Amino acid sequence: MKKNALLFSIMLITMLLLSGCWNYREIDKLAIVSGLAIDKNAQGDQFLLTAEIIDLKETMTQSKIASRKIEAKGESIFDAMRNMIKISAKKLYWSHAKAIVVSKDVATQDIVSIVDWISRDHEARITLNLFVSKEQTASELLFQQSVTTDIRSFEMEDMLMGNRSLSKAPNVKVYEFMNDLSEEGISGILPALGITMNMDEKTAELSGTAVFKKEKFIGFLDEEDSKFLLFVKDKIKGGVYTIKVEEESPNEIITLEIFKNKTKITPVYNNDILSIMISTTTEVAIEEQNTTNNYIDEEGRKKLISIAEKTLEQDVENTIKKVQQDFGSDIFGFGRIVKAEMPSLWKTMDKKWDTIFKDLEVHVNSEIKIKNSSLTSAPLKVGD
Amino acid sequence: MITIMTPARNYTLSTSLQKNVEIIKEIFLNDDTLIHRPFENQRNPDLKCCIFYIDGMIDANIINKNIIVPITRNPVLKAEGNIINHLQYQIITSNEIQKTNDTNQLVTAIISGDTVLFVEGFPEALIINTKGWKTRSITEPVSERVLRGSREGFTESIIMNLSMIRRKIQTPDLKFEFLVLGNQTQTKACICYIDGIVNKKILTELYQRLENFNLDGALGINYIQECIKDHPLSPFKTTGNTERPDIVAAKLLEGRIALILDGTPVAMTVPYLFLEYFQSNEDYYLNFYFASIGRLLRILGFIITTSVPAIYLALVTFHQELIPTPLILSISAARQDVPFPSILELIILLTTFEILREAGTRIPTYIGQALSIVGALVLGQAAVQARFVSAPIVIVVALTGITGLMVPSLSGVAILSRASLLLLSALLGLYGYTFGVTAWLIHLFRIHSFGVPFTLDLTSFHLQDLKDTAIRAPWWYMKYRPKQITFNRRRIKSD
């Protein structure tokens, strides 16, 4: 009896100990990585990794955070990462990394290995933000001047967060991108980063969408198109929509602030022809107008609404057409909707969806609700 | 009635006063506090008497005015007939007087402050109540101060303590049963309960356990508590103690039993449940919202004081990914150039805090300020500035220390559980911490106090059971007394 109890407790203890992680490591022995840029060398056989590491200095009165870069080469991404230890001395710690920027080359050839590493490694998070660089290399984005924080990669993440009220680039986390890659009837998109001038210094900026076809990057959508892409994908959380009201006076612009948007996509199959119906319902407010015409009273408002609805329909349709013609990649996920709503029909067309998508007929029906005109109830009066 | 088992020596009283005096002197050999005072009637010197008492235990006024004066000055008293009865019933003016020939009883009486009177020619003696010794006056207990409750606290005198309880519960159902504990000390103890509410099973159980109490002394209530505990090795106490008569009265009303011990101002109550640690008598005197918040804070404080060092260690050394990024940056910055690993830092600082606390409890108050300056400035600020320890550790230890003071009676448990959880955390991270918590919970849920589960009602889903647990329900809602402690559960008179 006693022997059994002893045996049992030994088994229990080993079981408990072996199932845990023996990984006591002090926080100051880790090099906390904030972001990563992935390039390829000219020959295209080696990865060039540039990691941004947070450099911590604490003085008696204040602690200062700065960033430091480490560069390494390797045959694979993981190989290159481990090679960084040669330089950093400390083991790199990936759990707090916020952004990974890849160059166009890497996005075209190796996006799968990156996504694979992120989902496989226990440190890197699948809520990371992946960006595609519009510039020659990805690493140069890490070397630009930062505006709000000293850590370039944190700022990249913040840009995406701030984009909620701008809606000019898609906020796609790695796991969402993975889902899009693996599913039928939808292609992946990632936010794109470019370099712009700010106060005579180069700085990184969020600029539009990188479009993928299957696992290959094929091109960029600009910022305006990105907004209408988000309209179709029902990802609009805010943003600004400017419209020209009068045909004859193109300088008259009314700026609407978008508060809420709901998009519904329904596939219609009629007479052997598949078409897609998109209906958007958008709640907006009049935020700015550069005319003194009254668009707040009932008559003006009706006119404004009908014009706004018409332009929005036009804009969305143009964007869809552009994607159909330029990329032929179903980044809107129409195929997925068809698969979900008409599974038997999808079975007949899943093999040739690429060609069907290119000529797919899409109708947009927009509804705009003007919630308010902010704090004024009448347009500004300009006297003599 | 008190029955005392004195060292079993059989003496028989004789008719000779001389011999009786010698017997008593022999029993109290080498005890110089025993005073014997022979005297005679002034008119009739044949009436020889002798009294025995112990110096300091008696009220000299009573002996002078009520025993010596009536016997010596009485002009008609004669040494004939049954004079001892005459003395007992007509001469001595005392509220309590008893005749006996049992030497054991005489010795007990002398020890407890009574005076024993021998009369020439009788093999008997009178025991006269002359108790009167200096006691501390009633003050508010230092360790259990309240804002709105009574300011009374128990004293070292059992009779005074009982009178305080009696004044609060004026029903003949309130029973006081005396017994004597401690083979040598012969300490008086009293079991109090309210007949009709008390659970008889628990009462019998208490008596049985007290019968097995065999120590030579019972100088404090803890002598008894440790001996009659359900789980002798558990750090949790399954008997409660308090210095306040209002708490004892409240517990009696819930069906609990109190044990008052002579010589200590601390009373014991049983059964004692885990949640009573977090209850304060103040809870019942304040508004129930406020009382509930206070109680929740105390529970939270206990959780924090046991867990925060372990969780901090697990996060910082095992699960860095769980810390928000800005926080990990500042922790990491603070830890640069600190020589010791986090676990060692924590152990050193936690020990230092306990040392400061222990030093603080035993020193006179006027040194306390110096101690806190040394503790706060030298150990806290200077150690961080000199980079001996990192600043977050000081914050963690300070939080642990302050929350540990919220429930002082649990501080022993808190230190033990904190240390064990910390070590497990250092070994296995949050995984180890979870194991530690599980082990503690298993222990907590399996112990009993006098047959009542220690964690009674903790897992209940009935509102009436939960009314006095983590929150304190309004008085009008507490219709029932806690189950299992009593079978007479209705507290509010039914209409």
Give the model's pLDDT for residue B479.
Answer: 82
Query: Which residues from A are below 8 Å from B328, CB to CB?
Result: 27, 32, 96
Let me know if residue B437 belongs to a domain: yes
Tokens standing for residue A250: 């193109």
Chain B interface disruption, residue of A53, A58, A61, A149, most B CBs within 10 A: A58
Query: Which residues from B are below 8 Å from A63, CB to CB?
Result: 330, 333-334
Q: Any chain A CB within 8 A of the CB of B181?
A: no
Which residue, B428, B449, B470, sits at the end of a domain? Answer: B449
Query: Which residues from B are below 8 Å from A28, CB to CB?
Result: 332, 335-336, 338
Backbone angles phi, psi at B195, to 5 degrees: -65, 135
Measured between alpha carbons, how far is residue B378 from residues B308, B341, B354, B363, B369 in Å?
23, 21, 16, 19, 13
| Residues B223 and B329 occupy one common structural domain | no
Among the partner-chain residues A32, A98, A154, the one whose CB lies closest to the CB of B332 is A32
Size of the A and B interface in Cβ pairs below 8 Å: 71
Chain A interface disruption, residue of B316, B318, B325, B425, most A CBs within 10 A: B325
Backbone angles phi, psi at A167, to 5 degrees: 55, 50
Let me know if residue A136 belongs to a domain: yes
| Residues A198 and A51 occupy one common structural domain | yes
Q: Which long-range contacts (CB under 8 A, 24 or more apart) does B16-21 make?
A: B16/B120, B17/B48, B17/B49, B17/B50, B17/B118, B17/B119, B17/B120, B17/B121, B20/B50, B20/B118, B20/B123, B20/B125, B21/B50, B21/B118
CA B294/CA B306 separation, integer angstroms = 18
**B385 contacts A56? CB cut-off 8 A:** no
**A26 contacts B334? CB cut-off 8 A:** no
Q: Any chain B CB within 8 A of the CB of A60?
A: yes
Q: Any chain A CB within 8 A of the CB of B342?
A: yes
| Residues A167 and A313 occupy one common structural domain | no
Residue type, A67: S
**Nearest-CA distance from B331 to chain A in Å?**
8
| Residues A130 and A249 occupy one common structural domain | no
| Residues A75 and A209 occupy one common structural domain | yes
Among the partner-chain residues A21, A27, A123, the one whose CB lies closest to the CB of B328 is A27
| Residues A164 and A255 occupy one common structural domain | no
- DSSP for B231-262 reads STT-SS-SSEEES-HHHHHHHHHTT-EEEEET
- Closest residue, chain B, to A21 (C-alpha): B428
Tokens standing for residue B238: 């399954």
**Nearest-CA distance from B345 to chain A in Å?**
12
What residues have CB less than 8 Å from B68, skipping those under 6 apart? B37, B39, B51
**A65 contacts B334? CB cut-off 8 A:** no
Q: Any chain B CB within 8 A of the CB of A314?
A: no
Let me know if residue B481 belongs to a domain: no
- This model of the complex carries an ipTM of 0.81
| Residues A198 and A292 occupy one common structural domain | no
Chain A interface disruption, residue of B329, B344, B345, most A CBs within 10 A: B329
**A30 contacts B320? CB cut-off 8 A:** yes
CA B446/CA B17 separation, integer angstroms = 63
**B342 contacts A23? CB cut-off 8 A:** no
Provide the domain limits for residue B66: 17-128
Looking at the structure of chain A, the number of domains it has is: 2
**A63 contacts B317? CB cut-off 8 A:** no
Q: Any chain B CB within 8 A of the CB of A59?
A: no
Give the model's pLDDT for residue B5.
Answer: 46
Q: What is the dihedral of CA A210, A213, A217, A219, to 10 degrees?
A: -50
| Residues B224 and B351 occupy one common structural domain | no
Among the partner-chain residues A19, A22, A93, the one whose CB lies closest to the CB of B320 is A93
CA A26/CA B317 separation, integer angstroms = 5
Distance of CA B355 to the CA centre of its chain: 25
Let me know if residue A7 belongs to a domain: no
Looking at the structure of chain B, the number of domains it has is: 3
Q: Any chain A CB within 8 A of the CB of B318?
A: yes
| Residues A365 and A309 occupy one common structural domain | yes
Q: Which of B163, B308, B250, B263 is nearest to B482 (CA)?
A: B250
CA B176/CA B258 separation, integer angstroms = 10
Residue type, A285: A
The answer to whether the beta carbons of residues B106 and B100 sit under 8 Å apart is yes
**A125 contacts B429? CB cut-off 8 A:** no
Q: Any chain B CB within 8 A of the CB of A23?
A: yes
Which residue, A163, A187, A221, sits at the end of a domain? Answer: A221
| Regions of chain B short of the pLDDT cut 50 | 1-6, 8
Give the model's pLDDT for residue B358.
Answer: 83
| Residues B118 and B29 occupy one common structural domain | yes
Q: Any chain B CB within 8 A of the CB of A95?
A: yes
Let me know if residue A33 belongs to a domain: yes
Query: Which residues from A are below 8 Å from B335, CB to CB?
Result: 26-28
**Nearest-CA distance from B228 to chain A in Å?**
29
| Residues A209 and A141 occupy one common structural domain | yes
Query: Which residues from A are below 8 Å from B317, CB to CB?
Result: 24-27
Let me know if residue A364 belongs to a domain: yes
Give just the sign of the alpha carbon dihedral B260, B265, B268, B273: positive
**A28 contacts B335? CB cut-off 8 A:** yes
Chain B interface disruption, residue of A18, A24, A54, A60, most B CBs within 10 A: A24
Which residue, B95, B128, B161, sits at the end of a domain? Answer: B128
- Closest residue, chain A, to B324 (C-alpha): A96
Beta strands in B213-256 (DSSP E): 240-242
| Residues A300 and A188 occupy one common structural domain | no
Q: Any chain B CB within 8 A of the CB of A54?
A: yes
Q: Any chain A CB within 8 A of the CB of B330?
A: yes
The answer to whether the beta carbons of residues B248 and B192 sit under 8 Å apart is yes
| Tens-level pLDDT at each residue, chain A (384 residues) | 688 888 888 887 777 666 655 677 888 888 899 999 999 988 888 999 999 998 877 665 666 778 889 999 999 888 998 888 888 888 888 999 999 999 999 999 989 999 999 999 888 899 999 999 999 999 998 888 888 888 889 989 999 988 888 888 999 999 999 999 998 889 999 999 999 888 888 888 888 999 999 889 999 999 999 999 999 999 998 899 988 877 777 778 889 999 999 999 999 998 888 999 999 999 999 888 887 778 888 888 888 899 999 999 999 999 999 999 999 999 999 999 999 999 999 999 888 898 899 989 999 999 999 988 878 777 777 776
**B333 contacts A58? CB cut-off 8 A:** yes
Which residue, B101, B128, B155, sits at the end of a domain? Answer: B128
Q: Which residues of B, range 365-404, sit inside 8 Å of A by Cβ? A: 385
| Residues B264 and B292 occupy one common structural domain | no
| Residues B101 and B201 occupy one common structural domain | no
Query: Which residues from B are below 8 Å from A57, CB to CB?
Result: 333, 336
| Residues A166 and A118 occupy one common structural domain | yes
Query: Which residues from A are below 8 Å from B316, CB to CB?
Result: 26-27
Provide the domain limits for residue A105: 26-221
**B329 contacts A28? CB cut-off 8 A:** no
Q: Tell me the CATH number at A353.
A: 3.30.300.210
| Residues B180 and B113 occupy one common structural domain | no
**What's the distance, Cα to Cα, between the start and end of chain B in Å?**
40
Q: Any chain B CB within 8 A of the CB of A30?
A: yes
| Residues A53 and A179 occupy one common structural domain | yes
Which residue, A170, A186, A221, sits at the end of a domain? Answer: A221
